[in-house]
């Protein structure tokens, strides 16, 4: 992957640690901006265009979760990596509900962070590739256009899905009334199959269920230990 034009925003209140990360990533040909708290980080984000944001969770003035929500309101697609000193399940799930792409627990190896950045940016490029196959699906009373990322029911104003919601619903629609194996979805959309990506997918399944609940004949079933099935009753 060509990193020449890739720009990273790091928001980290530990000045020394933040500068170590910044210098390391600059050595690997990334452009890097460093902010020392959430308020400064958001101001930088509004002024510049970044390819990925790395956010510390525990910060003064504005924590990483609050900052991530504000970033998501302006850009729902930019990848986010959270840095945290603790691995509480509640914090991990909270981060994924906001839209985190990955988590790193301090202390961590800088090479691991670099590998995650490359994987996420490669995955984003993969997801953004235009598709030439079928992109229009009838899901009960819903019309789903995966090219526009639109989902609407009975001709009402469409919901615009996030990229991951869109990819996941498309895979379910392709496998309608059949099993979508969990590992296929994880490897195709998240490009990895581990505890964190699996929990992230569960969050997106829950979001899709909320969208589809307005048609009682449409349901996403959890097939324990195997995957999911989009069921459309006649």
Q: What is the CATH number of the domain that holds 183?
A: 1.10.10.10
Q: How far is CA 109 from CA 34, 73, 105, 106, 113, in A?
A: 19, 31, 10, 9, 7
Does one domain contain both 12 and 124?
Answer: yes
Q: What is the pLDDT of residue 87?
A: 65
Does one domain contain both 117 and 16?
Answer: yes
Domain that holds residue 92: 7-128
Q: Domain boundary at 100, 128, 156, which?
A: 128
Q: Say whether 194 sits in a helix, a strand or coil.
A: coil
Does one domain contain both 195 and 110?
Answer: no
Give the Cα separation of 86 and 3 in Å (integer): 30
Confirm if 226 and 181 have CB atoms less than 8 A apart.
yes
Q: What is the pLDDT of residue 3?
A: 46
Q: Is residue 228 part of a domain?
A: yes
Does one domain contain both 105 and 143?
Answer: no
Does one domain contain both 117 and 168?
Answer: no
Q: Domain boundary at 67, 97, 128, which?
A: 128
Confirm if 79 and 124 have CB atoms less than 8 A apart.
yes
Those residues of the chain that have pLDDT short of 50 are 1-3, 128-132
Does one domain contain both 140 and 120?
Answer: no
**CATH number of the CATH domain containing 101:** 3.40.50.2300
Q: Domain boundary at 128, 144, 177, which?
A: 128
The token pair that represents 141 in the structure block: 């009373």
For the chain, the domain total comes to 2
The sign one gets for the Cα dihedral 215, 217, 223, 227 is negative
Give the Cα separation of 92 and 194 in Å (integer): 13
Does one domain contain both 145 and 123?
Answer: no
Does one domain contain both 207 and 108?
Answer: no
Q: Is residue 2 part of a domain?
A: no
Does one domain contain both 89 and 11?
Answer: yes
Q: What is the pLDDT of residue 187?
A: 80
Does one domain contain both 81 and 17?
Answer: yes
Does one domain contain both 19 and 116?
Answer: yes
């Amino acid at each position: 992957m060509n990193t020449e034009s890739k720009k990273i925003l790091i928001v980290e209140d530990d000045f020394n640690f933040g500068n170590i990360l910044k210098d390391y990533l600059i050595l690997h040909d990334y452009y890097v901006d460093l902010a020392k708290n959430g308020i400064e980080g958001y101001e930088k984000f509004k002024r510049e265009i970044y390819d990925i944001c790395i956010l510390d969770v525990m910060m003064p003035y504005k924590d990483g979760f609050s900052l991530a929500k504000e970033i998501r309101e302006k850009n729902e697609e930019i990848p986010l990596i959270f840095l945290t000193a603790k691995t509480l399940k509640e914090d991990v799930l909270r981060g994924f509900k906001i839209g985190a792409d990955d988590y790193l627990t301090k202390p961590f190896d800088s090479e691991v962070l670099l590998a995650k950045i490359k994987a996420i940016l490669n995955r984003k490029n993969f997801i953004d590739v235009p598709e030439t196959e079928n992109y229009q699906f009838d899901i009960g009373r819903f019309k789903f256009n995966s090219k526009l990322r639109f989902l609407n029911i009975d001709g009402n104003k469409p919901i615009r899905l996030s990229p991951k919601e869109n990819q996941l619903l498309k895979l379910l629609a392709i496998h309608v009334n059949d099993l979508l194996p969990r590992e296929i979805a994880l490897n195709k959309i998240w490009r990895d199959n581990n505890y964190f990506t699996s929990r992230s997918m569960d969050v997106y399944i829950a979001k899709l269920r909320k969208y589809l609940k307005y048609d009682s004949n449409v349901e996403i079933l959890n097939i324990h230990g195997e995957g999911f099935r989009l069921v459309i009753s006649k």
